[in-house]
Structure 1
């Protein structure tokens, strides 16, 4: 299944909380869309977007708002962040409202939520542009 998450050709996309349960077809689609391999959390340069795979069990270890702040630290102005969550009724599902609340705390805006594949849903977040002085 090919999905478009709105990343531009040539975009560098950083990925957070990758585990064995991620949907490989979503990852493949992003790499096909951008023409670039996804980079991991240790990537130290500016990125054009980020994907956060987030499950209810992850919330036991860390706060999603903190993860989103980390995701924004390398994000170029205008970059997208997608939080991918297990769909309702699936193990470790997360409410979209919980993602939206964490986004607000981190200074982001939720713009879209959509089904992505059989087991995952996505919430698209955008950052406010950084002020220029």
Structure 2
């Protein structure tokens, strides 16, 4: 990908997530139900392809797709921080209320707190998916987006 999209482009479903050109975004929890438009939108904004769980360098942010049946959310959030840069963010993407695999807000808040993360905002990111922005302590203190 040679050109990056304007992060403020409202037609891009990823525009609300605050990604910037040049960022490395690690994607965890990919499955056939993930939103392709959102994935492509992140790549369009950053100008880089999403990297997967086999990536062993530092990432600027993590996109974690998580469904109720995917196992322990706290463990997934701890694992997501393994290669996250200081001050990096995790976007936890879960099925919206009423959809198969929905994860409740209380469970998200408890898991985030246990994993040492701060819940900073929630947004609707796709037809079937909601996003929860989770910050590491350094990101929360610096106000980094």
Q: What is the TM-score when the length of structure 1 is the normalising length?
A: 0.91
Q: CA deviation at 1:99?
A: 1.2
Q: CA deviation at 1:8?
A: 1.7
Which residue is equivalent to 2:114? 105
Distance in 1 between residues matched to 2:91 and 2:104, nearest whole Å? 15
Which residue is equivalent to 2:40? 28
More strand by proportion, 1 or 2? Answer: 1
Which residue is equivalent to 2:99? 90
Alignment of 1:70-85 (within 5 A): 70-85=79-94
Q: CA deviation at 1:39?
A: 0.2
* Conserved? CA contact 1:7–1:80, under 8 Å: no
Q: 2:28 aligns with which of 3, 11, 16?
A: 16
* Conserved? CA contact 1:12–1:47, under 8 Å: yes
Distance in 2 between residues matched to 1:79 and 1:7, nearest whole Å? 11
Which residue is equivalent to 1:124? 133
Distance in 2 between residues matched to 1:83 and 1:108, nearest whole Å? 11
Q: Which runs of 5+ in 1 are unaligned?
A: none
Which residue is equivalent to 1:65? 74
* Conserved? CA contact 1:31–1:38, under 8 Å: yes
Distance in 2 between residues matched to 1:98 and 1:121, nearest whole Å? 14
Q: Which runs of 5+ in 2 are unaligned?
A: 1-10, 140-145
Which residue is equivalent to 1:43? 55
Number of residue-to-residue matches in the alignment: 127
SS at 2:60 equivalent: strand
Q: CA deviation at 1:54?
A: 0.5
Which residue is equivalent to 2:12? 2
